[in-house]
Chain A
């Protein structure tokens, strides 16, 4: 019944995706890594890196890859179609009233309220891949995820990539490839 679970999980992910590929990564992460525990954090980070550097929309790439890891080729087909289906159904259902719907004050207000939440979701996706938040002896405990940040070299690469993309407007694909090459040289 893994295929049914995959379908339901990715249908829900597609249904609640309001913020594009970045927000979808956070949805996939919480559903697949935290809730279903299909994939470990380290493996998920690899999947995100590959999704960012291969052709096609990041959200679709990520869904296909997770589907493959969980249920092989059939699993990837199920996950990919399930993630697209909600957009499709919403559009076909609303096509005749999209005109009014799209500018309706309630819809506009809803999107306005969701915008900061999407920013928070994407931020949470990054934080979840960096730190492990938990409880130790009743007190909150935070530790760095060593799979992703093994030592200072990882943090250096993180800072360099952030600066290059945030201020330098560097092309993300080259930045990712440079990161891989730096990994070969530094470790």
Chain B
């Protein structure tokens, strides 16, 4: 069957054709046991906003922490079947942008179309916004305090170590020689020669597209 050529095609068909399929009864062959053939609930925009607010407020440490929370909320409310949540996660990881924001956009769209995606995104970023504003305005008055300064003296090297860890982990995943070259050249250009990362990314996008096109041409 042509529609099963890759695992996301079913998901995309519902995304592209009708985002309000939520209301109709569907057969789920490999759905969560006990939930098969159950009616998927329609989500109201207000509820979507509220739930993504909650998701945003309780995920500490970035987008990955958000995944299990979104999963449990969607399943508990029977808004999206599990298999489609997995598709949202895979897609959100491979698309450009922040994982947490992509998750909110895709899940919101799945629930209520573009209105749903706007509401979900605003909901997901609102807690960050409020908390950071609160911290920033409180800290502004404590900048000259000796205790706060000492606290931050200890905090800074730790924060930098937390950036270094994913960098080392990601680079260790490189296997091909060109990956190491790209990584080291990027590192030197950005850190030492102060080249804007945007130029490096643009050059890489252009050259990878050119290489792919050239390969396609040779293949024909």
Contact = CB atoms under 8 A, between A and B. Distances in A.
Contacts of B99: 20-21, 57
Interface of B is mostly: helix
A131 B127 CA distance: 34
Interface size range of chain A in the complex: 35 or more
B163 A25 contact: yes
B94 A102 contact: yes
A1 B92 CA distance: 34
A123 B133 contact: no
A148 B157 contact: yes
Interface residues of B, number: 97
A116 B186 contact: yes
Interface stretch (B21-29, B42-50, B74-82, B147-155): B147-155
A4 interface: no
Interface in A133-161: 133, 140, 147-150, 154-155, 157-159, 161
Interface in B12-68: 12-13, 15-16, 56-63, 66
Given A56-B59, A87-B101, A162-B164, A187 B187 contact: no
A27 B213 CA distance: 29
Contact of A123 (B16, B95, B187): B187
B102 A91 contact: yes
* Residue of B99, B124, B139, B153 ringed by the most chain A CB atoms within 10 A: B153
A38 interface: no
A56 B185 contact: no
The 9 closest A-B pairs by CB, nearest first: A183-B154, A120-B186, A56-B128, A179-B158, A87-B97, A49-B159, A99-B12, A119-B170, A161-B161
Given A55-B57, A58-B62, A68-B132, 9 more contacts: A21-B63, A68-B133, A87-B101, A98-B16, A123-B168, A124-B187, A161-B157, A161-B158, A176-B162
Interface of A: 12, 14-18, 20-22, 24-27, 30-31, 34-35, 42, 45-46, 48-61, 64-65, 68-69, 73, 76-77, 80, 83-84, 86-88, 90-92, 95-96, 98-99, 102-103, 105-106, 109-131, 133, 140, 147-150, 154-155, 157-159, 161-162, 165-166, 171-173, 175-176, 178-184, 186-187
Interface of B: 6, 8-9, 12-13, 15-16, 56-63, 66, 91, 94-102, 105-106, 109, 114, 117-118, 121, 124-125, 127-129, 131-133, 135-137, 139, 147, 150-171, 173-174, 178-180, 182-187, 190-192, 194, 196-198, 200-201, 204-205, 207-209, 211-213, 216
